[in-house]
Amino acid sequence: MTDLERYDQARAHIARVGFTPEIQSKIALLLSAAKSGNLMFHSQLQWMPNLGLAQQFIISQSAREMEALALLRSMVQWSPDPRLLTESIPIVAPLSTAWGQILMPPGPLFLPRAAYRGISLGHAQLARMRLSPIIPENADPLAPFVVALQRMEQEDGRMLQTQIRLLKNLGTDIPVSEREDFIEQDQELVSAVFEQFLIWLTAP
Amino acid sequence: MPTVRLAQHNVNYELVGDPDAPVITFINGLTQNAKLWKNYADYFVPRGYRVLAYDMLGQGRSSKPVIDIKMTAHADMLASLLDELDIKQTHLASISFGGIIALDFAIRFGPRLESLTLMSTFAELTPQLEFLGAVMLQGLTDVGLPYMQNMLYPMNMSSTWIAANRDRIPEMRRAGYIGNDGYAMQNLMESFVEFKPLTPDLHKITAPTLIMNGEFDFFTPRECHELIRSKIHNSRLLIIQHAYHAFTVELPAVTMRQLEVFLGQVSYGGWHGDQSVWVASDDPSAKTQWLPCAGDWTRAIQVAQPPQERAPVVRKPTPKKARP
């Protein structure tokens, strides 16, 4: 879990420099990596046999991640500096690697553990990547990027409910203790990525 | 703060004080974490106690299961934590949600208790509490964690406290948003689905038990505490003047003083668990801390006896004078 001090440092930095194109691009690079992984996963999972009612929820999750990515890409004032992309790669690498392992053929359609792990990782991302606490008090609440961040976070909360229901109720033979282990490992993975991201965000 | 691994879960705790001193263990309310007892540790350690605070499963830096936590798992985990820390017996102090865990612990692990303090809590869901809990859970799931946080301030604190802390509340709310995970809180609340009333087993609690209830606590009102008082023979009910639900936060000096008096009575003599009802002094420096409660403590108003009706005056008819 990320320390309050890290959030404070990030917020103080943004309060000082504002939501510059560099800051906005860094946030967008993190969210793009996370949400693209969750989108690809749900886009595959929707074809899993015998999902029943859950199929519609899974389709809805992928549609909402797509909306979030579209909102983000259209609202971000992108920096032209390619250094930001190269700097972001090692920070989001644990997420990209984890999603790669989950989606690696034969993938979640055929591997129940990969399916459960994907839901768990998506849950951890929606739960642990919280950006509203880094929005400074002096930020214009109607600035398009600030509005986009707030809306995405509210939507993440709603999507989280679906992930919770899937984690609790999706039929699986995996023992509860093993499922909880997946969930805890993914929370730790995402928290570590987010902590590195906050450090990067405040770097000059 | 150190962390121990108990079964498949990490448990975060803080233990301070002389290893030979008697231990007070604090159990958090729903949205609290172990750090919030720091001022209690600062108060009790110099007074010769050792203080243990920890994050329950789903709180702070302890593991946050998503799928399932049985209500009984919390008391089991506390017993394991005490084993791990080689604590044979403890005074146990708890608030709100933590109070249920403390009651469950006292029922099933009674010999491990030196005393039990229950603050702002309940042994079963009254219809009012059940509906309030459902609204809280609905707020958390349908609207989100910030909504539930906003809801809890007026339910937990007095207008006086809110007015005095109005400027600090946004920062406190932000810290709470960062420090709590909505899904973990939701899981804790959903564990109530299987919650069975503890009332039928309260008579098994034999440890000296102090039940503390805020005078104006409308979240867990007097009826919740009165029920506990009536079932635990070795208990006393202490009403905290002017207090609402979260008086450990709002009135820490008063709360610490009452706890100190109680622990002193239990440790050094003077405790009488006679199910009597008392009112706590609102001055922690006052010589007499527990004042007798006059009147009906289950009522919010004290109804005076109606004035005695005067017997109607019946005048004797005056005999008519005979006309001359």
Question: Residue B6 and residue B24: Cα distance in Å, rounded?
Answer: 21
Closest CA to B239 of B208, B281, B274, B288: B281
B174 CB neighbours in chain A (<8 A) are 7, 133
Q: pLDDT tens digit string along A44-94?
A: 999 988 888 889 999 999 999 999 999 999 999 999 999 999 999 999 999
CB-based contact, B68 to chain A, within 8 Å: yes
- Indicate yes or no: CB of A168 within 8 angstroms of CB of B66: yes
Residue for token pair 């214009």 = A140
Question: Residue B102 and residue B113: Cα distance in Å, rounded?
Answer: 10
Question: Residue B37 and residue B317: Cα distance in Å, rounded?
Answer: 79
Spell out the alpha helix ranges (H) of chain A: 4-17, 21-45, 54-75, 83-103, 112-128, 144-169, 176-202
Say what the pTM is. 0.89
Helix axes B145-156, B169-179, angle to 10 degrees: 130
| Range A139-147 average pLDDT | 94
Instruction: Name the fold adopted by B3-123+198-292.
Output: Rossmann fold (3.40.50)
What is the predicted pLDDT for the residue at B301?
87
Residue for token pair 């005048």 = B315
What is the predicted pLDDT for the residue at A96?
97
The residue of chain B with its CA nearest to that of A130 is B178
- Indicate yes or no: CB of A180 within 8 angstroms of CB of B141: no
Closest in B67, B145, B183 to A176, CB measured: B67
Are the C-beta atoms of B148 and B135 separated by less than 8 Å? no
Q: pLDDT tens digit string along B24-45?
A: 999 999 989 999 999 999 999 9
CB-based contact, A135 to chain B, within 8 Å: no
Question: Residue B251 and residue B242: Cα distance in Å, rounded?
Answer: 9
Tell which B residues from 264 to 323 touch A, by Cβ distance under 8 Å. Answer: none
Q: pLDDT tens digit string along A182-201?
A: 899 999 999 999 999 999 99
CB-based contact, A188 to chain B, within 8 Å: no
What is the predicted pLDDT for the residue at B123?
97
* DSSP-assigned beta bridge partners for residue B25: B52, B92
Buried b / exposed e across B112-129, counting CB within 10 Å, b at 16+? bbbbbbbbbbbbbbeeeb
Kindly give the parts of chain B with pLDDT less than 50: none
* DSSP-assigned beta bridge partners for residue B52: B15, B25
Distance from CA of B144 to the nearest CA of A (A): 6
What is the predicted pLDDT for the residue at B320?
66
* DSSP-assigned beta bridge partners for residue B117: B93, B210
- What's the DSSP call for residue B211? E
Which of B36, B67, B143, B148 to mutate: most A Cβ within 10 Å? Answer: B67
Q: pLDDT tens digit string along B188-229?
A: 888 877 789 999 999 999 999 999 999 999 999 999 999 999
CB-based contact, B172 to chain A, within 8 Å: no
The ranges assigned to domains in chain B are: 3-123+198-292
Are the C-beta atoms of B158 and B242 separated by less than 8 Å? yes
CB-based contact, A125 to chain B, within 8 Å: no
- Per-position DSSP letters for B24-76, written without gaps between them: EEEE--TT--GGGGHHHHHHHTTTT-EEEEEPPTTSTTS---SS---HHHHHH
- Indicate yes or no: CB of A180 within 8 angstroms of CB of B67: yes
| Range A20-40 average pLDDT | 97
- Indicate yes or no: CB of A176 within 8 angstroms of CB of B144: no
How many CB contacts within 8 angstroms connect chain A with chain B?
A: 58
Instruction: Return the percentage of chain A with pLDDT > 70, whole number.
Output: 100
A7 CB neighbours in chain B (<8 A) are 174, 178
Question: Residue A14 and residue A8: Cα distance in Å, rounded?
Answer: 10
- Per-position DSSP letters for B101-115, written without gaps between them: HHHHHHHHSGGGEEE
Assess whether the previous peptide bond of B208 is cis (omega < 30° from 0).
Answer: no
- What's the DSSP call for residue B120? S
Cα-Cα-Cα-Cα torsion A125, B176, B69, B57, nearest 10 degrees, comes to 100
The residue of chain B with its CA nearest to that of A168 is B67
